Structure 1
Amino acid sequence: MARRKEKRTESSLYKARTPSLNDVTAQQPPIQNEERPAASKGFMRKDLARVIAEELHRWAQVVVYALPVLSIIITRNWDIINKTYQLWSSPLPPLSRLRGVFEEAPGTRANAAIVVLARNRDAGEVVHTLKTFEPTFNAKYRYPYVFLNDKDWEPQFKQTIADFLSEVRAVNISVNDTLYLRFGKVKEEHWSWPAHVDKTAALKDMRQMADLGVLHANKESYHHMCRFQSGFFFQHELLKDFKWYWRVEPDVDFFCPLHYDPFMFMESHNKTYGFNIVAPEFMATIPSLGKTVKAYMRERNITSIPPTLKLMWNETTDDYSGFHFWSNFEIGSLDWLRSREYGEFFEYLDATGNFFHERWGDAPVHSVAAGLLLRPDELHYFEDIGYRHADRIHCPIVKEKQGVYGPCECDVEELKRRRVQWGIWAYSDRWMNELKKWQRWAKAYQTPVNLEDKRQAALVGQASDPPPVLP
């Protein structure tokens, strides 16, 4: 018993002398921030550098794999990206913000339609155009819109347009209301390869043109569009009962409110073709057009350059100068385009296959046709309509004119300051000088919109200065 008690006592003493972990921690002096050995620091730096290098390598691999994919996506969608940028950057005038305040103007209407060639994906750009075209003109005059597409129209496109027009005019417009809206599909034979064109050879020529930097040269759809607008749009079933058309494009701006009806003006003054912007063509797109026109003239025994064609003919080289009326804005006679004379001229051009072997556009084709077939006084320059398409803007010289148009939000200099990316070639000094020559030429043949002073109008028509000819 005494021995077991002694053991317990020793055990208790041992436990009492054994400190706990907390006691040991409490008794130890605080750890000083001792310097780590240099070798340890070196290892840490190496570890950190290795981690950074691995991360950089991993991200480099991501970039290497992602860049080709991103490049393909951008290339395939470049048109959409570029047009979206233009859409966001466009300086819409305050008129575009007006809604539901336009009542239909009284008076007689011409047998006319607004013609829009578009695609299903262009709904936003079409609405962009309508934001200014409706307030400046058609919300008051309410001519029907004819939308044409080489594909079937999607219901969403139709509904988007109907909803917008309903909002602007404060009336309920249905997609099936043909009084305001008509949607049609282009015939396949009008948007496909014609039998007389060697498609393989044409595609080769298109690639070569693209390599030389010719815009849109390698886009088959663009060639089809130019041929369709040159020779077929006016044959469409939806336009057969109309006599006049106003061509309107997606993603354009109209700046000046019109207080007259351009269709009625054209009709009452025996005009046939109206335009707004004149421009020089990129000659690489039409290298043989002038020679073809001369060959056509020889076959028709036209021995001298007609007076209207002189405006766009280079007498030094005896060739087409490239001067043309920019056809994205046109107000014209459908009867003229459907005439035998125009049809024969188009068929002659089309037989060459150069809507595909070259990149003949509808603007020079319409312009040369007007030069050959129309008198100067059958053309009209709509100087009073403020208009923008892509990088070119036309602003009226006179912003206010009683009885013609009202407050105009078009100021070229202001637009150049705000949107300089649009102005680089559109406002070159050389081209502005050419435009002034054209304006003097046009003045000799223009019928003033305001005919209050008929004596002055007669004097303008008998201008003594001969019309200048562009080089």
Structure 2
Amino acid sequence: MAYDDSILKFGIKPYKKSIISPYTEHSGKNTRREKAAFLAFARNSDLYRMRKTIRQIEDRFNKNYNYPYVFLSNSPFSYEFIKGIQAMTESEVQFGLVEGEAWGRPSWIDKEKAETEKRESKYMNGKIEEYRWQCRAHSGHIFNHPLLDGKEYYWRIESGSKYSCDIDYDPFKFMKANGIVYGFNMAPIEDLRTVRTLLNSTKDFILNNKDMIPKSNLLDFVLDEQGLYNGCHFWSNFEIVKLEFFRSPEYTAYFKHLDLAGGMFYERWCDGPIHTMATSIFLNKTQVHYFEDIGYYFPALGNCPSRPDTKTKCICDPKKSFGNRHKCILHWKTL
């Protein structure tokens, strides 16, 4: 399908602006918090992996800030899970359900087509129906959950993730001070079998909503020299987001367009590539930040900072880090 080069232009460069350094802040429990929370989608079976993750988050960062946690699931949390999580932090912890329109396969999806894709898929999680439901919930619904009412930011956490460096500043404050909307830590290449038509659907949206698309954007990050999707995406198991972005009319319209296209069921579009496409068309580079200084591991990819001013804060080995040498990260640094 032909598209308007003035909208989908490969090579647009955003303007530059100075960044306020995060490395001069002195943290402490009396520091004023932002309206923010840690957000996790979890199940009762994740309890012990999540306890380990929270312990690291608390030790590395949150013991000095006491940001609250919001835990969501598609089924009720057990008493054991609730008590087991609450025991790991002095912060407020809330638990809620993802249900109704936010969970399941929508009525307009062609059941036979979706079942054929699921049955014949040869990619990771392709045969797991609930994985698609979870991707859809993260892509279009979770950030509107009532437990996030009144919040301006969320930091997504995942059971089994590891934090290997002390974080002695507040990433929420850093984002607010610098006008940052979306923060990421790793950016691998998506299995292109799962996103076969995502770019085409995105092009259709752009052509039908030109008034929503800013001239300065991040399409360079997701397009190769032929204008095809290169697979680069922000790994959304770690993301720090200004909720206003996902709740905006622009993002809402984009998600509804993708939802009706059915690619989460006819392929396996997930929230990582969807969030990345959205940031690429609606934001510029000054609004997106690579948290390179945060040591992070989630099977089987990790980021270990190599900067001299962060090495003493970390227990990971920078020489064994893969995430910060990944081709998409190197590509990001050239934009």
TM-score by length of 2: 0.87
Task: Summarize the alignment of residues 287-436 of structure 1 with structure 2, pairs less than 5 Å apart.
Answer: 287-301=196-210, 307-316=217-226, 318-401=227-310, 407-413=313-319, 432-436=326-330
Task: Tell me: CA distance 1:304–1:126, structure 2 relative to 1, closer, same or farther (3 Å).
Answer: closer
Code of the residue aligned with 2:195 in structure 1: it is I
Code of the residue aligned with 1:122 in structure 2: it is D
Aligned to 1:135: 59
Q: Which runs of no fewer than 5 residues in structure 1 stay unpaired?
A: 1-102, 166-172, 174-178, 417-422, 442-466
CA distance in 1, matches of 2:279, 2:207: 18
SS in 2 for 1:325: coil
Code of the residue aligned with 2:225 in structure 1: it is E
Larger relative CO (CA 8 A, sep 6+): 1 or 2? 2
| Displacement after TM superposition at 1:201 (Å) | 2.3
CA distance in 2, matches of 1:304, 1:136: 38
SS in 2 for 1:388: strand
User: 1 or 2, which has the higher helix percentage?
Assistant: 1
SS in 2 for 1:221: helix
Task: Provide, for residues 226-258 of structure 1, a one-character-per-residue CA deviation record: whole Å limited to 9, x for no partner.
Answer: 000000011101011111000000001001101
Matched, 1:438 2:315: no
Aligned to 1:152: 76
Whether the 8 Å contact between 1:257 and 1:406 is mirrored in structure 2 is: no
| Displacement after TM superposition at 1:285 (Å) | 0.5
Whether the 8 Å contact between 2:31 and 2:65 is mirrored in structure 1 is: no
| Displacement after TM superposition at 1:412 (Å) | 3.6
Task: Provide, for residues 273-331 of structure 1, a one-character-per-residue CA deviation record: whole Å limited to 9, x for no partner.
Answer: 00000111110001000111111111123799853111111231x22211111110000
Aligned residues with identical type, % of pairs: 33
Whether the 8 Å contact between 1:400 and 1:408 is mirrored in structure 2 is: no
SS in 2 for 1:164: coil
TM-score by length of 1: 0.62
Q: Rg bigger for which structure? A: 1
CA distance in 2, matches of 1:260, 1:125: 25
Aligned to 2:9: none
Code of the residue aligned with 2:230 in structure 1: it is S
Whether the 8 Å contact between 1:306 and 1:371 is mirrored in structure 2 is: no
Task: Summarize the alignment of residues 253-292 of structure 1 with structure 2, pairs less than 5 Å apart.
Answer: 253-292=162-201
Task: Tell me: CA distance 1:299–1:181, structure 2 relative to 1, closer, same or farther (3 Å).
Answer: same
Whether the 8 Å contact between 1:276 and 1:325 is mirrored in structure 2 is: yes
Aligned to 1:67: none
CA distance in 1, matches of 2:189, 2:199: 14
- Alpha-carbon RMSD: 2.1
Q: Which runs of no fewer than 5 residues in structure 2 stay unpaired?
A: 1-26
Aligned to 1:240: 149
| Displacement after TM superposition at 1:189 (Å) | 1.8
Which residue of the other structure, out of 123, 126, 151, is the alignment partner of 2:50? 126
SS in 1 for 2:154: strand
Aligned to 1:107: 31
CA distance in 1, matches of 2:156, 2:194: 22
CA distance in 1, matches of 2:256, 2:327: 35
Task: Provide, for residues 183-233 of structure 1, a one-character-per-residue CA deviation record: whole Å limited to 9, x for no partner.
Answer: 001122211111111223211111111xxx211011011000100000001
CA distance in 1, matches of 2:45, 2:326: 35
CA distance in 1, matches of 2:332, 2:181: 19
CA distance in 2, matches of 1:363, 1:321: 14
SS in 2 for 1:278: coil
CA distance in 1, matches of 2:28, 2:47: 25
CA distance in 1, matches of 2:225, 2:254: 22
SS in 2 for 1:214: coil
CA distance in 2, matches of 1:368, 1:248: 21
